[in-house]
Structure 1
């Protein structure tokens, strides 16, 4: 009877620590985004692991989150062996990562949410770099390009933009087929640029490759009508 009481007390203590950590992790995740519709966090750990500041397994699901201007339709993440400042968390202080955490996950981006992101610094900067690589002879300024929308088709994306210059604004339609060369390198092929003054770049005339950096390990990048799906790993740094 006494043993059962001790086990129940121990389990209750574990639930308290787990609940505190889950709430702290949710709060920390919410500080990383400016908006989120649904956020679910699941932690699997023993009390000894939690009290030592190690979370061996965490699953995070979020929908309609906004991260630095990027509208993310749905994201499912799993991380293992997370080291945190447990002593501070149990005192009510904010959660903080002590080490880089490799996170495996899946991102689903609808065309609607992608278009809501075109004005974000992250996406517009990336698109501007594509323009500079496509037309190195032009002296583009990032503010002279207004990105209007992106259409997602089967294995193909079409970007619509307006280029403001000294004369009349030029309307551009830029189509391309993105694919992975490796887990850290993206290839844009079958690039075609059309404008209201005629074609600027013929189909398959040029290919561009971009290194995505050592903090990512992308396993899949799929475009289907109205949707983008990405699966892989990314490092979350403290």
Structure 2
């Protein structure tokens, strides 16, 4: 990663302290590093400045397992989600080593637990609004909100996906503001602006903290949405968030993920 870029994490935070280093990398690990890089590129829509380090000796790898792989990258796009910076560590990775040494593509033989930190800028979130993970969560949340609100004619039953335009997210310290225009079946537009904090209900569930209905996206105060206090977004059991930090213009997330073959 470009050394001129600010480092948003320290190693102890990401990995929980430095583990005992594996044996000195050998010839096989040098062959594996580009193979891992090619596999990673095949898993994403876009990635820049990808760096891969295989920390293992040849004897360890020949036993059928890569003890540890570290990677860093910028401007990654995975399943429609845009990430400004990524740093991940995976351990005890089993791959098709024999085929890789013959020039075949790398494949995972079993799921692996990956631990690391990602940085999302405000622009990343707005570019990711159509990604299923983000879009489904927003839609479910708005359906819950609208079903409990009197906003006039809204396409709840005829179009459960909602007809939203000008959807935008603004990030501030400990706060997220979501704004959009909701288009009814007759073509009328209803302005929506909601500001909320986020907490962790569990390692894989985000919960709303003090959500408010705003007259417009930049309003300083709004009306409390008491019925939505504690509303949760389930990210799935394969995701474990350890820390979520909301700052002006960006989010830093430290988490563990289960990556399947």
TM-score (norm. length: structure 1): 0.86
Q: Which residue of 1 aligns with 2:212?
A: 192
Determine which structure has the larger strand proportion and give its number: 1
C-alpha deviation, 1:21, in angstroms: 0.8
In the alignment, is the contact (CA less than 8 A) between 1:170 and 1:195 conserved in 2? no
Structural mapping, 1:31-180, within 5 Å: 31-136=42-147, 138-139=156-157, 141-146=160-165, 148-165=167-184, 166-180=186-200
C-alpha deviation, 1:56, in angstroms: 0.2
In the alignment, is the contact (CA less than 8 A) between 2:139 and 2:162 conserved in 1? no
Q: Could you report, residue by residue, the CA deviation over 1:133-187 in whole angstroms, capped at 9, with x for unpaired residues?
A: 2233543532512352110011110011121112411221121111112212211
Q: Which residue of 2 aligns with 1:212?
A: 235
- 1:142 match: secondary structure: coil
Larger radius of gyration: 1
Please tell me the root mean square deviation across aligned C-alpha atoms, in Å.
2.0
C-alpha deviation, 1:210, in angstroms: 2.7
C-alpha deviation, 1:79, in angstroms: 0.9
Say if 1:211 and 1:118 are closer, same or farther in 2 by CA, change over 3 A.
closer
Pick the aligned partner of 2:252 from 203, 210, 229: 229
Q: For 2:236 and 2:192, how far apart are their aligned partners in 1?
A: 29
> What runs of 5+ residues in structure 1 fail to find an aligned partner?
1-10
Q: Could you report, residue by residue, the CA deviation over 1:113-148 in whole angstroms, capped at 9, with x for unpaired residues?
A: 211111323321221111122233543532512352
Q: For 1:112 and 1:211, how far apart are their aligned partners in 2?
A: 23
TM-score (norm. length: structure 2): 0.79
In the alignment, is the contact (CA less than 8 A) between 1:35 and 1:65 conserved in 2? yes
Instruction: Please state if 1:181 is matched with 2:201.
Output: yes
Q: For 2:162 and 2:101, how far apart are their aligned partners in 1?
A: 47
In the alignment, is the contact (CA less than 8 A) between 1:119 and 1:147 conserved in 2? no
Q: Number of aligned residue pairs: give it.
A: 222
Q: For 2:165 and 2:119, how far apart are their aligned partners in 1?
A: 25
> After TM superposition, where is structure 1 displaced by more than 6 Å over at least 4 residues in a row?
none
> What runs of 5+ residues in structure 2 fail to find an aligned partner?
1-22, 149-155, 217-221
Q: Could you report, residue by residue, the CA deviation over 1:29-75 in whole angstroms, capped at 9, with x for unpaired residues?
A: 00111111210111111111212331101101011111121110001
Q: Which residue of 1 aligns with 2:35?
A: 24
